Amino acid sequence: MEKKVTNYASCLNSMPNILVSCRDKEGHDNALAVGYACNCSYDPPMVMVGIVPSRYSYHMIKETGVFVVNLVSEELKKEYEYLGSHSGRDEDKLKKLGMKKGEGVKVNAPILLDCPVSIECTIVDSIKTGSHEMFVGKVEYIHAKEELIDEYGSVDYSKINFIKF
Ligand SMILES: Cc1cc2nc3c(=O)[nH]c(=O)nc-3n(C[C@H](O)[C@H](O)[C@H](O)COP(=O)(O)O)c2cc1C
C-alpha cells in the first residue's frame, strides 16, 4: 500500500487524557486538560506534562514548581471538557463544576478527589520545545482509589474506565 505525507502535529497516538491540577502562590487552585503527557523515568519515577505558556495554569506551575496529574475516568467527561476549554483566568473552574479537592501530601497543590488516581509531582527540569514547555515531574506520592490497588500495591489500570473520545 502506498504511503503519503500527512500533517505533522501531534503525530503519536494515543495521547493520555489527564487533568493537571495546580495552585498559585496566593493559594488559588486550577486545573486544565492535558494531552501532552507521558512517563519519562522508571527509576526514579517521573512523568512529563506539556503546558502551553499562554495557559493560565502555566504561571501557577512555574510559581510553585509542583503539579498533580489526575487520571480521568469516563464519568468525568463533562468536567474534563469544561476544564479543557475554559480558563481559570476568567473563573474558578473547579468551584463552578463543584469538583471536590483534597490537599497534596507532599506538594502544595490540590488533588482532584473525583479522579481515580492523583499523582503528586515536583518539577525537576523543563524543556521549551516549541508550542509547549515540557515539565519533568518527580513522582512524590500517588493517591489511588482503594478498589484499584492490586495485591502488589500497584494500580490495576485495567480497572479504570478511562475517558474516551
Ligand atoms: C483533549 C485536550 C487536550 C489538551 N492538551 C493540552 C496540553 O497538552 N497542553 C496544554 O497546555 N493545553 C492543552 N489543552 C488545552 C487546555 O486544557 C485549555 O486551553 C484550558 O482551557 C487551559 O486552562 P487554563 O487557562 O485555566 O490553564 C487541551 C485541551 C483538550 C480539550
Domain CATH code at residue 124: 2.30.110.10
Domain with 87 in it: 18-159
Q: Is 142 exposed, middle or buried (0-12, 13-18, 19+ CB in 10 A)?
A: middle
DSSP 74-91: GGGHHHHHHHTTS-TTTS
Instruction: Supply 105's cell numbers.
Output: 501530601
Look at residue 149 in the predicted model and tell me its pLDDT: 98
pTM above 0.75, yes or no: yes
53 lines ligand 1 (CB under 6 A): no
32 lines ligand 1 (CB under 6 A): yes
Residue found under cell 494531552: 35
Position 10 in a domain: no
Position 11 in a domain: no
Position 66 in a domain: yes
CA angle 86, 10, 154 (to 5 degrees): 80
Cα–Cα dist 23/7, whole Å: 35
Q: Which ligand 1 atom is at minimum distance from the Cα of 32?
A: 17
Residue 84: partners with Cβ closer than 8 Å, 6 or more residues away:
32, 33
Q: Are 73 and 161 in contact, with CB atoms under 8 Å apart?
A: yes
Position 88 in a domain: yes
Cα(32) to ligand 1 centroid in Å equals 5
51 lines ligand 1 (CB under 6 A): yes
Look at residue 165 in the predicted model and tell me its pLDDT: 80
Q: Which ligand 1 atom is at minimum distance from the Cα of 37?
A: 8
Position 27 in a domain: yes
Query: What does DSSP say about strands 101-103 and 133-144: parallel, antiparallel, or unpaired?
Result: unpaired
CA 135, chain centre distance (Å): 11
Look at residue 164 in the predicted model and tell me its pLDDT: 86
To test ligand 1's pocket by mutation, which of 28, 34, 54 has the most ligand atoms within 8 angstroms of CB? Answer: 34
Position 55 in a domain: yes
How does DSSP classify residue 61? H
89 lines ligand 1 (CB under 6 A): yes
Position 31 in a domain: yes
To test ligand 1's pocket by mutation, which of 55, 77, 86, 92 has the most ligand atoms within 8 angstroms of CB? Answer: 55
Supply φ then ψ for residue 46, to 5 degrees. -145, 150
- DSSP H helices in the chain: 56-64, 77-83, 93-97
11 CB-side CA count, 13 A = 5
Residues 127-163: pLDDT tens digits? 999 999 999 999 999 999 999 999 999 999 999 999 9
Cα(110) to ligand 1 centroid in Å equals 18
Low-confidence ranges of the chain (pLDDT < 70): none
Number of domains in the chain: 1
Position 136 in a domain: yes
